[in-house]
Amino acid sequence: MTMKQPRPRALALVAALALTQFAAGCASPPPERFYRLAVAAPSAAAPGTATAGDGPVVTVGAVTLPALVDRPQIVTLAAGSRVEVSEAHRWAEPLRFALGRVVAEQLAVALGTPLVYAYPQVAVADPAFRVTLNVQRLDATRGIAVDGELLWIVRRVADGQLRSGRSHGRGVPADASYDALAAAHVEALAAVSGDIARAIGELATR
């Protein structure tokens, strides 16, 4: 009994399939990239620039975030009700810390004081004002916009007087890159920080 030999074409197909499977198994995932939220530093001659000892001491407490975005991966909106969670593009620090830090830096400029501290670096014994932030919504769409809705409370420590509000912030990225998306997050927080700075100003003059 003579066994049939495999045809050359069949051998080629088997070899191509094996090579494809081997290549798929050996393919490495794309490298991870990490992004931070960076506030542009004001020049020394810019209005609002202050030196140590100027203005009130303010602390910005821990920020509460929706579970959807409280993760290392950058989350963006997609078509319909889909969201995209990018494993290759991540925040360089927990987003709840980054948002509080950005608000603190923006408040320092708006209030003209360097004495604004953000959680977890709030080792200040006697702040004049405490700020708490609760992010209700933080929607980011690459190349389109970052839209945020935040609840905030400002408390004057001396007597417990409060100011509170709900602020909407919007930032428009320059392009569809993740770098532009990070910059749009900072832009979106500027309106929120402005509202908080005005509340602090009102409490400071009462």
Local confidence band at 37 (pLDDT 50, 70, 90 cut-offs): very high
Q: Read off the pLDDT band of 188 (50, 70, 90).
A: very high
Mean pLDDT of 171-176: 98
Residue 58 has a pLDDT of 96
Measured CA angle at 126 (ends 121, 129), to 5 deg = 80
- Report, as an integer, the average pLDDT of 129-137: 97
12-26, 129-143, 183-197: lowest mean pLDDT where? Answer: 12-26
Confidence of residue 125 (pLDDT cuts 50, 70, 90): low
Q: Which residues contact 126 (CB under 8 A, 6 or more apart)?
A: 57, 157
More confident residue, 41 or 156: 156
H/E segment holding residue 165: strand 162-171
Residue 128 has pLDDT above 80, yes or no: yes
